[in-house]
């Protein structure tokens, strides 16, 4: 798994970062996006639907910032 620190980035930057880095994991691998931008809560799952990846779910980083986990499928 890789973790992308997108704290302080505004939309659509966290999703752009996710798209840029998803290829760094194997198919079936996980990418976590740590983002305090509120749009990421909706846009990471929407990106997964549009790009045919799996949205695994939301957790939190140790500092409480939301952490969105994606599984690469294609």
Partner 1 sequence: MSETSSEPTRYLDAASSEPLHPAARASLLAALDVGYADPRRLHHDARNARLLLDNARAVVAESLGVRPDEVTFTGSGTEAVHRGLLGLVRGRPGGTASIAHSDVEHSAVLHAAAWSGVATRVVPVDRFGRVDPEALHEACDETTVVALQAANHEVGTVQHLPALTGAAQQAAVFVDACASMGRLPLPRTWSAAAGSAHKWGGPAGVGVLLVRHRAPWVSPFPADDRVDHRATGFENVPAALAAAAALQAVVAERDEATARQHALVDRVRAAAAAIDDVDVLGDPVDRLPHLVTFSVLYVNGERLVAELDRRGFGVASGSACTASTLEPSRVLAAMGALTHGNVRVSLTRDTTADDVERFCRALPEVVAGLRS
Q: Burial letters for 18-30: b for 16+ Cβ neighbours within 10 Å, e otherwise?
A: beeebeeeeeeee
- For residues 47 and 68, which CB has a smaller minimum distance to partner 1 in the complex? 47
DSSP 25: S
The residue annotated as part of the active site, out of 11, 13, 30, 39, is 11
Residues that bind partner 1 (CB under 8 A): 8, 10-12, 15-16, 19, 36-39, 41-43, 45-47, 49-51
- For residues 7 and 26, which CB has a smaller minimum distance to partner 1 in the complex? 7
Calpha distance 21→8 (Å, rounded): 18
Told to judge if 6 belongs to the known catalytic residues of this protein, a careful annotator would answer: no
Active site residues: 11
């Amino acid at each position: 798994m890789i973790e992308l620190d997108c704290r302080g980035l505004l939309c659509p930057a966290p999703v752009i970062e996710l798209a840029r880095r998803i290829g760094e994991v194997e198919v079936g691998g996980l990418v976590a996006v740590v983002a305090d931008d509120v749009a990421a809560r909706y846009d990471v799952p929407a990106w997964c639907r549009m790009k045919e990846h799996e949205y695994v779910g939301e957790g939190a980083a140790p500092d409480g910032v939301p952490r969105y986990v994606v599984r690469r499928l294609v």
